């Protein structure tokens, strides 16, 4: 995909950065603006994030895991509540220091579209934003969870149905 096309796509996004660490919010904002983002909103905790989603209608949320009041997983579970929360399909990138596989699985099970480790690189951030915007996965109900359709479900299931 052409860099100009990606830059134009990122310029048009309204991005919400949720992290209790002011330095990390500043760093993430700087990366996003260097990638071309014009509209970057910030929230310092989970309650502020929910309020920002309701009032500012972001296109994408970058969400930290470890925060006071409501942590990232709790925020994600609230957001992924169709019929209860106004934006259950909001694309979410979990941006965290929690690297263990169990945390990655928990974040994806709770409905994160993508998972990035802190500190991240501008390229990794750009790649995740691009995948969310240009290759969005439909949201599906899996058990008690409302999540982006797992990548593994798409192709093999169709192939199995055809054969």
Convert the pLDDT of each residue in 100-159 to its tens digit.
Answer: 999 999 999 999 999 999 989 999 999 999 999 888 999 999 888 999 998 775 444 444
pLDDT at residue 12 tops 70: yes
Average pLDDT, the chain: 90
Average confidence (pLDDT) over 63-70: 94
Report how many domains make up the chain. Answer: 1
User: So what's the pLDDT on residue 8?
Assistant: 87
For 17, the domain range is: 3-162
User: So what's the pLDDT on residue 151?
Assistant: 79
Report the CATH number at residue 51: 3.40.50.2300
Instruction: Say what the pTM is.
Output: 0.90
User: So what's the pLDDT on residue 153?
Assistant: 53
- d(Cα 48, Cα 38) in Å, to the nearest integer? 21
Instruction: Copy the structure tokens of residue 100.
Output: 């263990």
Question: Are 26 and 58 spatial neighbours (Cβ–Cβ below 8 Å)?
Answer: no
Token pair 């660490």 in the structure block, residue: 21
Question: Are 140 and 147 spatial neighbours (Cβ–Cβ below 8 Å)?
Answer: yes
The H or E element containing residue 127 is: helix 122-134
More confident residue, 50 or 143: 50
- Environment class of 33 (CB within 10 Å of its CB; exposed 0-12, middle 13-18, buried 19+): middle
- d(Cα 63, Cα 115) in Å, to the nearest integer? 9
Percent of the chain with pLDDT over 90: 79
User: So what's the pLDDT on residue 9?
Assistant: 87
């Amino acid at each position: 995909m052409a860099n100009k096309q990606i830059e134009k796509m990122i310029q048009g996004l309204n991005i919400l950065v949720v992290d209790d660490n002011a330095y990390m919010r500043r760093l993430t904002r700087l990366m996003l603006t260097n990638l071309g983002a014009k509209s970057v909103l910030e929230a310092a905790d989970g309650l502020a994030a929910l309020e920002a989603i309701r009032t500012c209608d972001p296109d994408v949320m970058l969400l930290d895991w470890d925060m006071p009041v409501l942590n990232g997983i709790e925020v994600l579970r609230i957001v992924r509540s169709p019929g209860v929360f106004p934006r259950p399909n909001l694309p979410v990138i979990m941006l965290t220091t929690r690297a263990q596989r169990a945390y990655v699985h928990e974040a994806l099970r709770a409905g994160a579209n993508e998972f990035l480790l802190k500190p991240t690189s501008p390229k990794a951030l750009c790649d995740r934003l691009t995948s969310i915007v240009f290759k969005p996965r439909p949201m599906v109900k899996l058990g008690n969870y409302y999540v982006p359709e797992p990548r593994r479900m798409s192709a093999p299931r169709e192939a199995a149905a055809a054969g």
